[in-house]
Amino acid sequence: MSYDFARIESKWQRIWEERRVFEVDKDPSKPKFYCLEMFPYPSGALHMGHLRNYSIGDLVARFLRMRGYNVLHPMGFDAFGLPAENAALKYNVHPAAWTYGNIEHMREQLKSIGCSYDWRREVITCREDYYRWTQWLFLQFFKRGLAYKAEAPVNWCPSCNTVLANEQVEDGRCWRCESPIEKRKLSQWFLRITAYARELLEALEELPGWPEKVKVMQRNWIGPSEGVRLTFPVKGLDLRIEAFTTRIDTIFGVTFMALAPEHPLVDRLISLSEDPGPMVEFVKEESRRSYVERSDASAEKRGFFTGFYAVNPASGEEIPIWIANYVLMDYGTGAVMGVPAHDQRDFDFARRHGIPIRPVVRPVDGELDPLSMERAFEEEGIQCNSGPFDGLPTAESRAKMALWAEEKGFGKRETHYRLRDWLISRQRYWGAPIPVVYCDSCGIVPVPEEDLPVILPLDLQVLEGARSPLPESPSFWRTTCPSCGGPGRRETDTMDTFICSSWYFLRFTSPWTKEAPFLREDVDYWMPVDQYIGGIEHACLHLIYSRFFQKALSDMGLVRDREPFRNLLTQGMVIKDGAKMSKSKGNVVDPDVIVKRYGADTARLFILFAAPPEKDLDWSDRGVEGAHRFLQRLWRFVEANADRLKALPDEVLPMGSISGRSARDLKRKVHSTIAKVTRDIEVEMQFNTAAAALMELFNAMEDFEPASGEEWLVLREAVRALLLLLSPFTPHICEELWERCGFGEILALQRWPEVEEGAL
């Protein structure tokens, strides 16, 4: 009988579902294991990156299940978001219809590759039974001052017609469409993630199961800087400029102050200026420029002298106040103390605008001439032109100057973070409505919890220009104030979709409850996630946001653990012809085509065998064909011997009772393979080397020619062990061959083989 993978795979997928093999509940008699892959956005179809992610996760789940763990392995869909709106315009379909149609297709794809999910626990973030609790969690943040509305310079994507969080800006461009972002001043909703900056940073040390690369990326994003916050009075006015510096040793070299065009003080200076027109025009022009332009170190350093002066608190010297395009509100305080001798950006600005350059740090073995300097001197050195600190090495002077500034009252030592509060409001339709009402009498009023969810109306269409229809729909926004009963207006912005994915792993533990987002007894049993699997591109988005949510919810008493993910695996990309798969490059391989042509087991085996999980995988048609040939060989071999194996007693001969050398060699190979595969999966997470070891074992089995009853029993043990060890990789064929050999009930429920120490 030939290897009919299509029939075999559909058969076992049906049996697993009918017998509810992968459904799981709390069981105190077993150790628990929560295995989770990052859930997909329902974009239309699975791609090879998905297939790799879910094949890895399914291998881990099946392995741990066989090791005796009570394994939670759920799946859902991150279903709100911009692509649904773009599709609505492109295909003239409602975002909901597009989203749910894609979910149906992707769910069937996930089932077709044999993923061992407990589908009862499926969550879909755009359903009312989910976003009701997203809104409820927002209200808990709001009650505790962790959600607030403020006017601030924000990142605006002109193509997506919405604001973006800082984490969604990559090299000055929109993370989704790659358009250059603009800066606009808008009133927006934020979550106070900065309240947890220190803990988010320090707790990384408590995550030994995370890749160091991800932890480095998060450390850099949180961006701690030890320095001093300095206060510069504005001459003749009751105004002060706050500037943060890590180089207080250069304070005597400050020759100008530079403000970002969006700095709040700029508006005050404009209002006090005798001729504000040119200043207003400069600010407007620079604010329109993209982040890419303004943050480019090589870009022209444009500036405008305000006509006002600040006072250097260290020297008493008057210094001009400029508005400068290279100063960004995203960093520090939005104000820079200009030290052109020792900062290259300040140097370029000063040279362009004729501002004096005063060296206050010299090289250990020389002097600096400000007239002949071609670049800023940014290295460590010796203090000069620095009053009582002359002659001190800069490392020593920094500490002494910081204390001196505190004693004099113009400075305070601080740790600053690059991390900014999370901007969560979006001017989009397809998202969870923000549950607040605006009232002329009462201000911002939260929607009462008993009135949740604030339902997103499904009878609206996305407007031309990808504009949200909510602000233009009185039936949605017109309401009464929950506080005074007067007329009110609902918030028409929706929440960033990353809010939905910041707590979904908690909902999987209690997906059926209607009384709370999750039940404490369930999260205490299942959390934290023991193995999380997903792409490294989420290091500074989803993975930071989820950690923040977990810590905040712990402080609210809703969860016990302060970290959501104990171990993290970031799989590499699937590439072809040396490049990431993309339609524009014409190198996309459709998983459906591969599964139809070769079967899900072949696709899984190739993906798990072709590269270490954390490395990029170079797609190879020859490699897929090789994996398929291996499974065909396995099928023919076991099929040819199945009747004989089925007739043998369920008996394992200990090594000491085996007389034949070839039988002893095969048994030794079986148990060394059990030991290696177990370690490669459980400890090393190197599935490719585990698969290679299984192929080597099978080669040895093919070469083995049993003649005696003893040798047949050893072959039976080898076949049984091989099917058990291979089943997390290729579950369907292993189930079928297990059944044909008469080895017992469903293989997925069997125990992992144990090493016989005497056989090593």
Mean pLDDT of 194-218: 97
CA distance 449 to 133: 10
Model confidence at 331: pLDDT above 90: no
Instruction: Give the confidence band of 693 by pLDDT, cuts at 50, 70, 90.
Output: very high
Q: What is the pLDDT of residues 70-82, one digit of tens each?
A: 999 999 999 999 8
Task: Please give the pLDDT value at position 486.
Answer: 97
Q: What is the pLDDT of residues 344-363, one digit of tens each?
A: 999 999 999 999 999 999 99
The C-alpha torsion from 511 through 514 and 517 to 522, rounded to 10°, is -60
Task: Please give the pLDDT value at position 127.
Answer: 98
Task: Please give the pLDDT value at position 357.
Answer: 98
Residue 361 phi, psi dihedral angles, 5° rounding: -135, 125
DSSP result, 325-390: TT--TTSTTSEEEE-TTT-HHHHHHHHHHT------EE-TT----TTT-SS---S--EE-S-GGGT
Model confidence at 292: pLDDT above 90: no
Mean pLDDT of 374-390: 97
CA distance 625 to 632: 10
Q: What is the pLDDT of residues 612-666, one digit of tens each?
A: 999 999 999 999 999 999 999 999 999 999 999 999 999 999 999 999 999 999 9
| CA-to-CA separations, 593 to 14, 46, 49, 618, 671, in angstroms, rounded | 21, 11, 15, 18, 37
Two structure tokens written together for 122? 């499926």
Mean pLDDT of 34-41: 97
Residue 604 phi, psi dihedral angles, 5° rounding: -65, -45
Q: List the single range of 100-104, 292-296, 476-480 with lowest mean pLDDT.
A: 292-296
Task: Please give the pLDDT value at position 500.
Answer: 98
Amino acid at 581: M
Q: What is the pLDDT of residues 456-513, one digit of tens each?
A: 999 998 877 668 999 999 999 999 999 999 999 999 999 999 999 999 999 999 999 9
Q: What domains sit in the chain, N to C, each tagged with a CATH number?
A: 5-120+526-578 (3.40.50.620), 134-192+422-497 (no CATH), 224-417 (3.90.740.10), 593-759 (1.10.730.10)
Task: Please give the pLDDT value at position 643.
Answer: 96
Residues whose CB falls within 8 Å of the CB of residue 92, separated by 6 or more in sequence, listed in order: none
Q: What is the pLDDT of residues 565-580, one digit of tens each?
A: 999 999 999 999 888 8
Q: What is the pLDDT of residues 543-553, one digit of tens each?
A: 999 999 999 99
Give the residues across from 147 on adjacent strands: 191
Task: Please give the pLDDT value at position 577.
Answer: 85
Task: Please give the pLDDT value at position 328.
Answer: 87
CA distance 511 to 526: 13
CB 646, CB 742: distance < 8 Å: yes
Neighbours of 379 (CB within 10 A): 10
The C-alpha torsion from 552 through 555 and 560 to 561, rounded to 10°, is 50
Instruction: Give the confidence band of 291 by pLDDT, cuts at 50, 70, 90.
Output: low
Task: Please give the pLDDT value at position 573.
Answer: 93
CA distance 759 to 663: 11
Mean pLDDT of 525-547: 96
Instruction: Share the mean pLDDT of the chain.
Output: 95
Q: 152 vs 402, which has greater pLDDT?
A: 402
CA distance 105 to 282: 53
As a whole number of Å, the end-to-end CA separation of the chain is 36
Instruction: Give the confidence band of 157 by pLDDT, cuts at 50, 70, 90.
Output: confident
Task: Please give the pLDDT value at position 184.
Answer: 81
Two structure tokens written together for 116? 């061992």
Q: Which residues in 719-752 are b (16+ Cβ under 10 Å) and which e?
A: bbbbbbbbbbbbbbbbbbbbbbbebeeebbebeb
Mean pLDDT of 210-221: 96
Model confidence at 166: pLDDT above 80: no
Q: Which DSSP helix (H) or strand (E) runs through 499? A: helix 497-500
Mean pLDDT of 60-72: 99
Mean pLDDT of 302-307: 97
Report percent pLDDT > 90 for the chain: 85
| CA-to-CA separations, 472 to 488, 493, 495, 496, in angstroms, rounded | 15, 12, 18, 20
Instruction: Give the confidence band of 208 by pLDDT, cuts at 50, 70, 90.
Output: very high
CA distance 610 to 589: 16
Mean pLDDT of 508-527: 98
Q: What is the pLDDT of residues 706-735, one digit of tens each?
A: 999 999 999 999 999 999 999 999 999 999
